[in-house]
Amino acid sequence: MGEKDEIISQILYEMVGNEGIKIINALATPSTDLQLEEKTNIPITRIRSTLNALHKYNIVSYNSARDEERGWFKYTWRLNEGAVELSVKNYLMAKLMRLKREFQEITQINFFKCENGCMRISFTEAYEVNFRCKKCNGVLKPVDSAKESREIKEEIEEIKRIIATLGPSPYNLKNVG
Ligand SMILES: [Zn+2]
């Protein structure tokens, strides 16, 4: 397995878990959920919920046809061509944006965190509740934003490295705003 395949597998695992990966592999040929159950030994309810997750990421699509004998609809699922890599990239881009926002926030606002880890809130909010956690009454302590921002920065760099390894996106979108 090349580095690229390994990265894609890792990110897919984050997105849809091991069962999602199994189902993607099983969809080398288009299949119904029952056929997928046979191929993967994953319980049918989990196959269906995983198919829904994969569908949400636009990795799979389905055709429906009426089963003439039984009178119900039969759904045949298939992989969308090129969709795995594209959805992995989209997922990474969304994560990157979220981390950048988090980074910006944490370097601009003084945060306080419950000593028991329940919540992280801004100074103003912490001041209003007298530096006590609303959930557990624990003490709210100032967050070491230098450490957290360093960790976020590292994660951002890691994702950028991964995206670079995956190569250019099929689209060359313009930066807006
Ligand atoms: Zn608490």
How far apart (Å, rounded) are the C-alpha atoms in residues 120 and 126?
9
Q: How much is the pLDDT for 108?
A: 83
C-alpha 134 – ligand 1 centre gap (Å): 7
C-alpha 125 – ligand 1 centre gap (Å): 14
What CATH number does the domain located at 3-81 have?
1.10.10.10
- Residue limits of CATH 1.10.10.10 in the chain: 3-81
C-alpha 115 – ligand 1 centre gap (Å): 6
Q: How much is the pLDDT for 7?
A: 92
Q: How much is the pLDDT for 173?
A: 62
Tell me if 113 sits within 8 A of 119, measured CB to CB: yes
C-alpha 155 – ligand 1 centre gap (Å): 26
Tell me if 136 sits within 8 A of 114, measured CB to CB: yes
Q: How much is the pLDDT for 72?
A: 83
C-alpha 132 – ligand 1 centre gap (Å): 8
C-alpha 147 – ligand 1 centre gap (Å): 21
Q: Give per-10-residue mean pLDDT for the chain (177 aa).
A: 86 96 96 96 97 96 88 91 91 95 87 92 92 95 88 95 82 67
Overall pTM surpassing 0.85 (yes/no): no
Q: How much is the pLDDT for 169?
A: 63
